[in-house]
Amino acid sequence: MTGEPPAAPGNPERRQPPERPRAPESSRPPEYQRASEKPPALREPPAPAPSRALRTLARDREARLLLLAVTVSGLGSSALFLVAGVWVKELTGSDSLAALCAFALWLPSLAGPWLGALADRLPRRGLLVALQLATALLLTPLLVGAEGPAGVWLLLAVLVLYGASGVIEDAAQSALVATALDPRALGSFNGLRMTANEGMKLLAPLAGAGVYTLWGGPRVVLLDACTFLVAALVYARVRVRAAAPAPPRPSARAPRLLPRVPAPRRLVLAAGAAMALSGTASASGYGLMAAMGLPPAWLGVVSAAQGAGS
């Protein structure tokens, strides 16, 4: 009798069913394809090259005007930011009062949620033009110079209003950019705007300290006022391509929501701590110049070097 020998008892042999041939992935239905392989229609288009985005912005009239306004206004503002402290230091010899200038400039930021809401309720271009003109007018009392204790307190009062103008300008500027440019170009333009702002913070301290050393504080104030007038003319030429959005109703509730939302609360606390430490560093800078036997205007050179290394 022929055939296969019987399996040993207690160890039965099991036959496996033959394996079915697998179809190639290209012939499978879409639901059986790998999840990482998206159909061509669902694949995201490649991001535009940075050089192409920059060329597009260079051909955009509104982008050129807005970038010019940001650069010109930032030049004067950054120059006065440093010179105000140097001015007070030379008038009083006090490092604390010199550092108080930075505090006066940043104090209106605490009212940012309410000051920035003006950009939601008023036409952005008109608000920016009026703001540049009003800020230039605000600086006129300093053109005759600040002398004695009364001059120091006048300078501090002007700096508080100057800081409030800057808070409103930042909000209105961001809103105007969103309504004047193509939405696809906003990311690239915001990068250029940040570069221009930081570049002015690098160059303006040197320029402001040089003008202050040669001609005094009133000439720096005059330079700043002229930059605001130029920025007002540039903003007036910007064409708004889209209608301004309706005022958002929950903007007034933002300060009340802040204590109850963890993420923004942590950001605000961290930023506040950083600004407090920055003020301490500003005060120590004036003392450092005095200890080295250098005039306070040398702080402009130190600030530029610090910015170049950051």
pLDDT digits (tens, 9 = 90+) for 274-299: 776 766 666 678 778 888 888 888 88
pLDDT band at 151 (very low <50, low <70, confident <90, very high): confident
Find which of 17-26, 143-152, 193-202, 213-222 is predicted with most confidence, using mean pLDDT.
Answer: 213-222
Cβ 128 vs Cβ 221: under 8 Å: no
CATH of region 60-244+254-301, choose from 1.10.3720.10, 1.20.1250.20, 1.10.1060.10, 2.60.40.10: 1.20.1250.20
Residue 12 has pLDDT above 90, yes or no: no
pLDDT band at 267 (very low <50, low <70, confident <90, very high): confident
Residues 286, 105, 101, CA angle at the centre, nearest 5°? 30
CA 176, CA 123: separation in Å to the nearest integer?
9
pTM: 0.73
CA 264, CA 266: separation in Å to the nearest integer?
5
Q: What percent of the chain has pLDDT over 70?
A: 73
Find which of 153-157, 247-251, 287-291 is predicted with most confidence, using mean pLDDT.
Answer: 153-157
pLDDT at 37: 47
More confident residue, 194 or 30: 194
Give the residue among 105, 165, 159, 104 at the shortest CA–CA distance from 130: 165
pLDDT tens figures, 56-97: 777 788 889 999 998 998 888 888 888 998 999 888 888 888
CA 277, CA 103: separation in Å to the nearest integer?
12
Q: Give the mean pLDDT of the chain.
A: 78
